Structure 1
Amino acid sequence: MKSQASTLLAEVRTFRQNHPDVRYVDLIALDIPGHFYGKRYPIEMLEKVAAGSPLKLPQNAVLLGVQGGLFKIGDYCFHDGDPDANRRLVPGTLKPVRWESQPLGQMLITSDGTEAPIEFEPREVLAKVLERLHHKGIHPVVAFELEFYLFDKKLDNGLPQFARDPLSDDTDDQPNLHIERLSRFSEVLDDMAQTAKDQGIDITVITAELGPGQFEINFGHLDDGLRAADWAALFCRSTRGVALKHGYRASFMAKPYLQFPGSGMHVHVSLYDGAGNNVLAAHQQQPLRHAVAGCLELLPHCMPIFSPNHNAFRRLGGTVNAATRACWGFEDRDACVRIPDSDPRNLRIEHRLASADANPYLVLAAILVGLEHGLEAGREPIAPLNEDRSSGTDFPVEMLDAVRAMQHQPVLRDKLGAEFIDVYCENKRQDHLAFQQEINAREYRWFL
Structure 2
Amino acid sequence: MKSQSSTLLAEVRTFRQNHPQVRYVDLIALDIPGHFYGKRYPVEMLEKVAAGGPLKLPQNAVLLGAQGGLFKIGDYCFHDGDPDANRRLVPGTLKPVSWEGQPLGQMLITSDGTDAPIEFEPREVLARVLERLQHKGIHPVVAFELEFYLFDKKLDDGLPQFARDPRSDDADDQPSLHIERLSRFSEVLDDMAQTAQAQGIDITVITAELGPGQFEINFGHCDDGLRAADWAALFCRSTRGVALKHGYRASFMAKPYLQFPGSGMHVHVSLYDAAGNNLLAAHQQQPLRHAVAGCLELLPHCMPIFSPNHNAFRRLGGTVNAATRASWGFEDRDACVRIPESDPRNLRIEHRLASADANPYLVLAAILAGLEHGLETRQEPIAPLNEDRNSGADFPLEMLDAVRAMQHQAVLRDKLGAEFIDVYCENKRQDHLAFQQEINAREYRWFL
Q: 1:316-342, CA deviations, whole angstroms, 9 ceiling, x for partnerless residues?
A: 003110001000000000000000000
Q: 1:5-45, CA deviations, whole angstroms, 9 ceiling, x for partnerless residues?
A: 00000000000000000000000000000000000000000
| Per-residue deviation, 1:135 | 0.1
| Per-residue deviation, 1:172 | 1.1
Contact 1:146–1:264 under 8 Å retained in 2:
yes
The separation in 2 between residues aligned to 1:414 and 1:393, in whole angstroms, is 22
Where 1:304 maps in the other structure, the secondary structure is: helix
TM-score (norm 1): 1.00
| Per-residue deviation, 1:283 | 0.3
| Per-residue deviation, 1:145 | 0.1
Contact 1:174–1:180 under 8 Å retained in 2:
no
Where 1:201 maps in the other structure, the secondary structure is: coil
Q: 1:138-183, CA deviations, whole angstroms, 9 ceiling, x for partnerless residues?
A: 0000000000000000000000000011111111146533111000
Residue 255 of structure 2 is aligned to residue 255 of structure 1: yes
Q: 1:221-250, CA deviations, whole angstroms, 9 ceiling, x for partnerless residues?
A: 000000000000000000000000000000
Relative distance call for 1:175 and 1:434 in structure 2 (3 A) is closer
Correspondence 1:403-422 to 2 at 5 A:
403-422=403-422
Contact 2:260–2:319 under 8 Å retained in 1:
yes
The separation in 1 between residues aligned to 2:174 and 2:183, in whole angstroms, is 11
Contact 1:291–1:372 under 8 Å retained in 2:
yes
The separation in 1 between residues aligned to 2:126 and 2:349, in whole angstroms, is 18
Match of 2:106 in 1: 106
TM-score (norm 2): 1.00
Contact 2:99–2:238 under 8 Å retained in 1:
yes
Contact 1:174–1:181 under 8 Å retained in 2:
no
The separation in 1 between residues aligned to 2:85 and 2:367, in whole angstroms, is 28
The separation in 1 between residues aligned to 2:176 and 2:184, in whole angstroms, is 14
Q: 1:49-71, CA deviations, whole angstroms, 9 ceiling, x for partnerless residues?
A: 00011000000000000000000
Correspondence 1:343-354 to 2 at 5 A:
343-354=343-354
The separation in 2 between residues aligned to 1:412 and 1:390, in whole angstroms, is 27
Where 2:393 maps in the other structure, the secondary structure is: coil
Contact 2:142–2:228 under 8 Å retained in 1:
yes
Contact 2:262–2:318 under 8 Å retained in 1:
no
The separation in 2 between residues aligned to 1:161 and 1:245, in whole angstroms, is 17
| Per-residue deviation, 1:201 | 0.3
The separation in 2 between residues aligned to 1:193 and 1:318, in whole angstroms, is 29
Correspondence 1:41-56 to 2 at 5 A:
41-56=41-56
The separation in 2 between residues aligned to 1:146 and 1:338, in whole angstroms, is 16
The separation in 1 between residues aligned to 2:380 and 2:171, in whole angstroms, is 48
Q: 1:365-421, CA deviations, whole angstroms, 9 ceiling, x for partnerless residues?
A: 000000000000000000000000000000000000000000000000000000000
Q: 1:75-125, CA deviations, whole angstroms, 9 ceiling, x for partnerless residues?
A: 000000000000000000000000001000000000000000000000000
Query: CA RMSD of the aligned region, Å?
Result: 0.5
The separation in 2 between residues aligned to 1:177 and 1:44, in whole angstroms, is 48
Q: Structure 1 stretches (4+) deviating beyond 4 angstroms?
A: none
The separation in 2 between residues aligned to 1:300 and 1:79, in whole angstroms, is 33
The separation in 2 between residues aligned to 1:173 and 1:379, in whole angstroms, is 47
Match of 1:220 in 2: 220
Deviates more, 1:167-176 or 1:188-197: 167-176
Contact 2:93–2:199 under 8 Å retained in 1:
yes
Where 1:114 maps in the other structure, the secondary structure is: coil
Q: What stretches of structure 1 of length at least 5 have no aligned partner?
A: none
The separation in 2 between residues aligned to 1:20 and 1:329, in whole angstroms, is 53
Q: 1:170-216, CA deviations, whole angstroms, 9 ceiling, x for partnerless residues?
A: 11146533111000000000000000000000000000000000000
The separation in 1 between residues aligned to 2:176 and 2:288, in whole angstroms, is 32
Q: 1:280-333, CA deviations, whole angstroms, 9 ceiling, x for partnerless residues?
A: 000000000000000000000000000000000000003110001000000000
The separation in 2 between residues aligned to 1:183 and 1:380, in whole angstroms, is 46
Where 1:257 maps in the other structure, the secondary structure is: coil
The separation in 2 between residues aligned to 1:272 and 1:177, in whole angstroms, is 35
The separation in 1 between residues aligned to 2:413 and 2:187, in whole angstroms, is 46
Relative distance call for 1:174 and 1:190 in structure 2 (3 A) is farther
The separation in 1 between residues aligned to 2:278 and 2:319, in whole angstroms, is 34
